[in-house]
Structure 1
Amino acid sequence: MDKRPDPFEPPAPAMRARLLTRLEVIRTVLRNPLELWGEPSYTLPWIETKFFNQRTLIVNDPDLIRYILVENASNYEMSQVRRLILRPILRDGLLTAEGEVWKRSRKAMAPVFTPRHAHGFAAQMLAKTEEYATRYEEPARDGGVVNIATDMTELTFEVLSETLFSGQIATETEGFADSVDQLLHRMGRVDPMDIMLAPTWVPRLTRIGGRKVMARFYGIVYDTMDRRRTLMKTEPESVPRDFLTLLLELEGPGGLSTEEIADNILTFIGAGHETTARALAWTFYCVANAPHVRQAMEDEIDTVLAEGAEPVEWLERMPNVRAAFEEAMRLYPPAPSINRAAIEDDQWTSKSGETVVIPKGISVLVMPWTLHRHTLYWDRPRAFMPERFLPGNREKLHRFQYLPFGAGPRICIGATFALQEAVIALAVLMKRYRFDRTPETNPWPIQRLTTQPRGGLPLRVTAR
């Protein structure tokens, strides 16, 4: 007889039972777009709706998602509203570039993020995480409280800096997490003017104050580029063969422009580590509320580390750790929406014979937030149940019902990097410490480019 407790259901907005007025939509978008979605978004395979005269097709059917993102991806471009939100931050970075600019950038970065190359970062990831773990020694002695959301932003930035930039980003780690929060809070939120597709010259009041943060980040980027260029000229034999060098070697005619390189560096410095950081924080929170899951993870970590396994092996040898992280990404997908628009008229027919007409110009919205909580595709969709992703179960999942890293040509280039980093971070920290909720631990998910815990995520840390 299974005596495990009922699975933990972490906080999330309930399905809305009624349509919102235009004013309510604006207010909800300003407050938290995750609270926008009604019951049909969580229960139907697809829905056509209209936001401010913009027709939108909300897609949840995994086969239709595959058609749009993979089989006929050339007919779908980034939607206008997505460009209005992201381009002011990331410009021509990999997440926002289109056409030939995107192709050049993707081709330039692909060698760094092959699984084989990503696995080569494991030792650096381990060293940085072990170094970071010492910061918890003092609070762990007396059960101090830490903000795991801020801490994971700092840790993943340090890992990113060491692996992709050889520790040579022109900034100090201290205060960096706050700067990222300011950037995403000021610049990464949906403005009502975006929803109404207002021209870019119309002021976005929600982003007032964001320009200073943007200027600081671009200052970091150009200082980093200048330092590396100087090193490449004066001491070419000591230049590290990392992500930064690779990009700068492609600078010039036929390659990447200086601006494109800067935009891609900003994309990785300002956002590339942020998704992993948020997912790690949510994982620690969910595990703190699921003692039987934590026990299974700790037993697995202790066994694998006692056997002396190299960190590059941990991703495959720690299925319970990986499953907990993947389940946290299901419940709190770091990138909660994928926005496309149809370039030409299209249509798709389901296995049951239903035809979905997709007219030219319609906005197509694939939302991991609702897809991952959809009643048609998940048992107890609001519950934290990592066993879904254990070997023997994960093979039963449709490839396109779970999209933490997107899919198709624009799938996250750093997926293997992120999974490996996350398992190493969880293993190192959970080997030494336990993280438990406090009376003040009452997170609420909000969408600010990534899925963030409003007010942070305080957890009590103690030594194991």
Structure 2
Amino acid sequence: MDSTARSFRPPAPTPRTTPPSTLQMMRIVYRNPLELWGEPSYNEPWISITGGIGGPLLIANDPALIRHVLVDNARNYKMARVRQKILRPILRDGLLTAEGDVWKRSRKAMAPVFTPRHIAGFARPMLEQAEQFASRYDAAVGGTVDISRDMTMLTFDILAETLFSGEIAGDPDSFAGQVDRLFETMGRVDPLDLLGAPDWLPRITRLMGRNSLKFFRGIVARTIEMREEKMRRGESVPEDFLTLLLQAEGPDGLARAEIEDNIITFIGAGHETTARALGWTFYCLAMLPAEREAIEREIDAVLAREPDPVRWLDEMPRARAAFEEAMRLYPPAPSINREAVEDDRYEDLLIPKGTQVLVMPWTVHRHRKLWDDPEAYRPSRFHRENREQIDRYQYLPFGAGPRVCIGAKFAMQEAVIAMAVLMRRYHFDVTPETRPWPVQKLTTQPQGGLPMKVSLR
């Protein structure tokens, strides 16, 4: 390992040079969709396919075309069928899967929690949870931990404390394993969905995930029951995400089922994207000692003069850039799927009604016409002096348009605070067992986890 290097190429599938057969495609999509994409996906502005499974398909890589689909003409594009078949059995009418008036009601109900003022108020609890979590590593010094699994637990602790005031039912220690199980089963594309099979045919992926889904639904029911019992007794309750949703229940607000679906969306998936990106960040920085040392110096300097964590996101640009570059190479949500409601046209490209449109952050973020040396991990791309060179629609870790992630600022603040706390005290280094391979299971996960050695700085 070159201790002076400023970039390296982390593991990723090699682009295909020949198209797969239908059977091969179904196997790849089930096992790991990231291995499906060929050279054209990393070189062409778009790929339009008129035949094949599922009807017309458009893979959109050009930033202007992406803006057209997700922003300028967003009303003409609904959530794609295959995506909904994966997510709706888990999240039902949660914010990620709801459409139309149901989505508008949920977004409106949640908006007050994610205002800049509220997010700033979360900084201190985020710091406290990160510090409590970091103390666990004192006993692990000299040993190996799975940083990927640990970041899932840390971001869950932060989410529980900030959005639910620490009042989520259940055992947090069993949570990470259930998340993995849910994404391993129901988080995969089922071959029957690709073939357009009728819904009454049982999907093995959903059958295998029933117990994990039952686990999460049970957590939601008990969490709501605990809070409502406090309300019935006239006790003071925090004005948090949970209380806000319960207060929004009614004929002109949210139905009870919609409240439950949004709670499971945030408990089951709201922390997962940040966790995965943090894990990849620590791995990439372990492979770039010079960059890690520069970030450590930045963290030390900021913490010496600025105790308020709400300011860290702006005052730690190198840490932020390292996290953003990890999200470029390993986008937490590697695909954005839409379906054309009516015929549409972009320049000379016809987009017929029913076309499945794939905006793939995985390929857009690695596109050779958009990025210099796109396969290299190079945080300097996101340094302040370079950011203006990045088009808004060539970097999509949180999506874009009306359905842009409502918690984007929350996630960025959380990530930088977690990095500051952990990197102030510890080094996380690769071991001979650290051989991550990116796999798409809703999020971009490291197959086999991220075992890393813990040492004190």
Normalised-by-shorter TM-score class: over 0.9
Which amino acid letter does the alignment assign opposite residue 281 of structure 2? T
- 1:457 aligned residue (447, 450, 456): 450
The Cα shift of 1:139 comes to 1.3
Relative to structure 2, which stretch is displaced further, 266-275 or 4-13? 4-13
Instruction: Name the counterpart of 2:248.
Output: 250
Code of the aligned partner of 2:435: N
Gaps of 5+ in 1: 350-354
Kindly state the Cα deviation for residue 309 of structure 1 after the two structures are TM-superposed. 3.5
Match of 2:184 in 1: 185
Q: How far does residue 195 in structure 1 lie from its aligned partner after superposition?
A: 1.4
Name the structure 2 match of 1:333.
331
- Quote the Cα distance in structure 2 between the aligned partners of 1:346 and 1:39: 27
Q: Distance in 2 between matches of 1:31 and 1:190?
A: 9
1:40 is the counterpart of 2:33:
no
Structure 1 residue identity aligned to 2:226: R
What is the CA RMSD across the aligned residues, in angstroms? 1.0
Are 1:342 and 1:364, in contact at CA under 8 Å, matched by a contact in 2?
yes
Aligned counterparts of 1:17 and 1:233: Cα–Cα separation in 2: 63
The C-alpha deviation readout for 1:103-161, integer Å capped at 9, x for no partner, is 00000001101122111100000000000000000111xx1100001100000000000
Letter in 1 for 2:389: K
Q: Which residue of 2 aligns with 1:419?
A: 412
CA contact (8 A) 1:89 1:214 kept: yes
Aligned AA (1:157): F
Output the CA distance in 2 between the equivalents of 1:36 and 1:372.
Answer: 16
CA distance in 1, matches of 2:171, 2:6: 44
Q: Deviations over 1:197-251 (max 9, x none)?
A: 2222221123322111111110110110111111112134x10000000000011
1:445 maps to 438
Report the Cα distance in structure 2 between the residues aligned to 1:356 and 1:111, rounded to whole angstroms: 40
Deviations 1:355-390, CA, capped at 9 Å, x for gaps: 111111101100000000000000010100000001
Runs of 4+ in 1 over 4 A off after TM superposition: none
Give 1:53 shift. 4.5
SS at the partner of 1:54? coil
| 1:352 aligned residue | none
Deviation (angstroms), 1:4 = 4.1
2:163 pairs with 1:164:
yes
Q: What corresponds to 1:103 in structure 2?
A: 104
Tell whether 2:370 aligns with 1:377: yes
Could you tell me how far apart the structure 1 residues matched to 2:290 and 2:79 are?
A: 42
Aligned-partner Cα distance in 1 for 2:298–2:6: 22
More off after superposition, 364-373 vs 191-200: 191-200
Partner of 1:367: 360
Contact 1:341 1:364 in 2 (8 A): yes
- Give the aligned partner of residue 283 of structure 2: 285
CA distance in 2, matches of 1:460, 1:169: 31
Q: How far 1:348 moved relative to its partner?
A: 1.2
Q: Deviations 1:29-58 (Å, cap 9, x if unpaired)?
A: 121011011110110000012441521100
Is 2:110 aligned against 1:117?
no
The question of whether the paired residues in 2 share the 8 Å contact of 1:82 and 1:339 is answered with: yes
Q: CA deviation at 1:6?
A: 5.9
Secondary structure of the residue aligned to 1:121 is helix
From 378, 384, 389, the counterpart of 1:396: 389
> For residues 39-438 of structure 1, what are the structure 2 equivalents within 5 Å?
39-49=39-49, 50-140=51-141, 143-236=142-235, 238-349=236-347, 355-438=348-431
Distance 1:200 1:114 in 2: 39
1:406 Cα deviation (Å)?
0.1
**CA contact 2:4–2:289 (8 Å) conserved in 1:** no
Contact 1:51/1:195, CA 8 A, preserved across alignment:
no
Does the 8 Å CA contact 1:279/1:332 hold for their aligned counterparts? yes
AA partner of residue 160 (structure 1) = L
Which residue identity is paired with 2:123? A
Structure 1 residues 42-51 or 391-400, which shifts more?
42-51
Partners of 1:25 and 1:36 within 8 A in 2: yes
Separation of aligned partners in 2, 1:310 and 1:61 = 40
How far apart, in 1, do the equivalents of 2:223 and 2:254 lie?
Answer: 17
User: Separation in 2 of the partners of 1:75 and 1:307?
Assistant: 50
Range 274-283 or range 183-192, more displaced: 183-192
Distance across 1 between alignment mates of 2:182 and 2:399: 23
The alpha-carbon deviation at position 78 of structure 1 amounts to: 0.3
Provide the C-alpha distance between the structure 2 equivalents of 1:308 and 1:412, rounded to a whole number of angstroms.
29
Q: CA deviation at 1:308?
A: 2.8
The two structures have a TM-score, normalised by structure 1, of 0.96
The amino acid across from 2:299 in the alignment is I
TM-score (norm 2): 0.98
Q: Structure 2 regions of 5+ residues with no counterpart?
A: none
Contact 1:440 1:458 survives alignment (8 Å): yes
SS in 1 for 2:84: helix
- SS at 2:56 equivalent: strand
Please give the secondary structure, in 2, of the residue aligned with 1:161.
Answer: helix
In 2: Cα distance, 1:401 partner to 1:91 partner: 30
Q: What code does the residue aligned with 1:194 have?
A: D
Indicate the residue corresponding to 2:29 in structure 1.
Answer: 29
Give the distance between the partners of 1:450 and 1:6, measured in 2 at CA.
27
Indicate the percent of aligned positions where both proteins have the same amino acid.
Answer: 62
Mapped contact 1:80–1:197 kept (Cα < 8 A):
no
Q: Deviations over 1:408-454 (max 9, x none)?
A: 00000000000000000000000000000000000000011100000
Quick one: distance in 1 between partners of 2:137 and 2:404?
Answer: 35
The aligned amino acid for 2:191 is P
The one-letter amino acid paired with 1:45 is P
Question: For the Cα contact (< 8 Å) 1:11–1:443, is it kept in 2?
Answer: yes
